[in-house]
Structure 1
C-alpha cells in the first residue's frame, strides 16, 4: 500500500513540477525514434537507460529475459502494468512474468517513438509511443501501438527502472496464463 501511495504522490508531484518548469523554461517537444542497437554499455544517461530497457524488451521476445535484470531495480516497490493486463508489484513478481513471457519466444520487436524525457537528480521519467510488431501466443500477427511511461530511480549512480506502464492491448491480454493480478 505504501508503494502505491509513494508512486501516486511522485506522479502527482512530477506533473505539478513539470507544469511549473515548462512555464518558466519552455521545453521543446522531443520527437525521437530510439535506436537500441547503437547503445554502448557506458551510456549512463536517462535516455540511455530508457533505450537499454527497449533493447532488453526485444531480447525477451527472443527468449532471453536476463537483460531485464540489469535495467530494473530489484526492490519490492517496482511495478509493471504491461499491455497484457494486470498489475505486478515487486521485483519477484515482475521478474517471474518476464521469465514466462521470454519462454514463449514470440519474436517481434518494440520500438520507442516520440520520446519525451524529464530528468531530476534521483528520479526521471520517459513518455513515448511504443510500436510493436509480433505474434500472440496463438500465432496471430499483431502490430499494436501503445502510450507508455517509464519511471526511473537512481540506485548506486545508475538509472534503474521502477515502473513501466503501457496501454492495455485486447489482443495481447493475459498470454501467459493469468498470473498478473
Structure 2
C-alpha cells in the first residue's frame, strides 16, 4: 500500500510518500511544494497542481492530511485552512481515500508524545524510515502523517489514540 502524507501550508506544503509492506513502512519520496509569492488564489492553484502531479507520479492509495490547528493569528489560520482545502479537493478529484489527523495525534503516533516538537518528529521519522539525512520540517511532518496512517492501519497505535474520518468516495461528485 502506498500512502501520501500532506502537511498543508499556504507558502510551503510538505509531502511524504511511504509504502507499507506487511507492517514495515518504507520511504519512497518527500519534499515540499513551495509556492511563489503570488496572490493567495494563485498559491492555492500551485498547491493543487503540485499535489496532482505527485498523485500522478506516485499513485498513492490513500492520503493522510494534517488537520488545521487553531492559531492566535486568525488570518494565518484561514490561509492554512484554504491551503488544506486545496489539498482536499485535489485528493477528492483523484478519487482517493483520505484520513485526517490532528497535529497532536500525529506527534503521539510517531514520537509517543502529543506535545513533541518538530525536532523530535524529524528525528523519529528519520530513524523509523532509516533515512540518511533529516527531512525538512514540513516534509517530516507529512511523512509523520503517512506513518500515522500506516501505524493505525497495522494496529501499531493503541486503539483510540489515533482517530480518523474516512471520506466517502461519493463526496467527490460535489452533490449536496
Instruction: Give your verdict on TM over 0.5.
Output: no
Q: Which has the higher contact order (CA 8 A, sep 6+)?
A: 2
Q: What TM-score do the two structures reach when normalised by structure 2? A: 0.25
Point out the structure with the larger strand share.
1
Q: What TM-score do the two structures reach when normalised by structure 1? A: 0.24
Higher gyration radius (CA): 1
